[in-house]
Each structure stands twice: as structure tokens, then as C-alpha cells.
Amino acid sequence: MKVKSGYSEQLQELGLVTTHLIPLVFNLLHLYGGAGKTVKLDVWSVDQFYIECKRSSIFPNLNL
């Protein structure tokens, strides 16, 4: 957990998230062109999903 938080802190300190990652995501999704040119993500929505071999000891508070 410390490695992950340290890595994300380093990315933020270097400004890589705001200067490179966010513009990349915006370009990939065509968000700079306005709402009419955005990528439609609803085709990727999931209405149902199934969890096989659920153990109550692993997910004690998960109500399925």
C-alpha cells in the first residue's frame, strides 16, 4: 500500500497527472470537441454480473 501511495504522490508532485494523464484521457475520449463528439460509453455498461465461488469469510458485509 505504501508503494502505491508513494507512486501516486510522486506523479502528483511531478505534475504528470495534470500535464499528461488528464489531457491524454480527454483526447482519447474526444472530450475537447464538445458533447457532440464524445465517445459513447454506455455500450460498455454492465447490467448484471455474477460472482462465482463466493465465500462469506472473504466478503462478510457484501449483500448479493
The 10s digit of each residue's pLDDT in 12-55 is 899 888 898 889 988 888 787 776 766 777 888 888 877 776 66
Span 37-48, pLDDT tens digits: 667 778 888 888
**To which residue does cell 464524445 refer?**
38
| Residue range(s) defining the domain that contains residue 37 | 1-64
Residue 7 belongs to what H/E stretch?
Answer: helix 2-13
The number of domains in the chain is 1
Find the helix or strand (DSSP H, E) in which 23 lies: helix 22-28
Q: pTM higher than 0.85, yes or no? A: no
- Spatial distance between the Cα atoms of 12 and 22, rounded to a whole number of angstroms: 12
